[in-house]
Structure 1
Amino acid sequence: MLPQFGTAVRKTKSLTKNLAAETGGSAPERATVDAAWLVLEAANDLGDHAAIEASRRVIDAELNGKVAASADTDLVLGYFR
């Protein structure tokens, strides 16, 4: 069974925004990471393992100051369409 991230997302979402602002993250990057958190929660509820992994990679890339793969970013940004 996969761990649930809904509560963790709500508690750390503002921390992620503040960290991005402090490190000079641009608005599109923050928007992508915010979307990744939402996709992670929804995909976790639906059991969508591919979306879970893609959103985790986008979040990890942002936290490590790297650029996420375009395929992961595309999946995250198009998830609710």
Structure 2
Amino acid sequence: MLPQFGTAVRKNKNLNNAVATDLGGGAPDKASVDAAWLVLEAANDLGDHAAIEACRRVIDAELNGTAARSSDVDLVVGYFR
């Protein structure tokens, strides 16, 4: 059974650490997951449901140790640009 979404605790709110690097087919890197938490907060405030779902998939992938979809990571990384 998969863990419930939101069971992980965000530890770092520093936007400067939220720059994603190449995933290389592995699990999402820490920077993209940190960015996903920041984007999730902003997307919730804005009612951006597509971004909320993409953030949840990136965070869930990190919790499960799997690779996030590159389209989800691209949305997260480029959200504030």
TM-score between both structures, scaled by the size of structure 1: 0.69
- What residue is the counterpart of 1:37 in the other structure? 37
Instruction: Provide the C-alpha distance between the structure 1 equivalents of 2:31 and 2:56, rounded to a whole number of angstroms.
Output: 15
Runs ≥4 residues deviating over 6 A: none
Q: How many residues align?
A: 60
User: Which structure's relative contact order is higher, taking Cα pairs within 8 Å and 6+ residues apart?
Assistant: 2
Instruction: Provide the C-alpha distance between the structure 1 equivalents of 2:63 and 2:50, rounded to a whole number of angstroms.
Output: 20
After superposition, the CA RMSD in angstroms is 2.1
- What residue is the counterpart of 1:63 in the other structure? 63
TM-score between both structures, scaled by the size of structure 2: 0.69
Percent of residue pairs bearing the same amino acid type: 73
- How many angstroms does 1:66 deviate by? 0.2
Higher helix share: 1
Structure 1 gap segments, 5+ residues each: 1-7, 16-27
- What residue is the counterpart of 2:10 in the other structure? 13
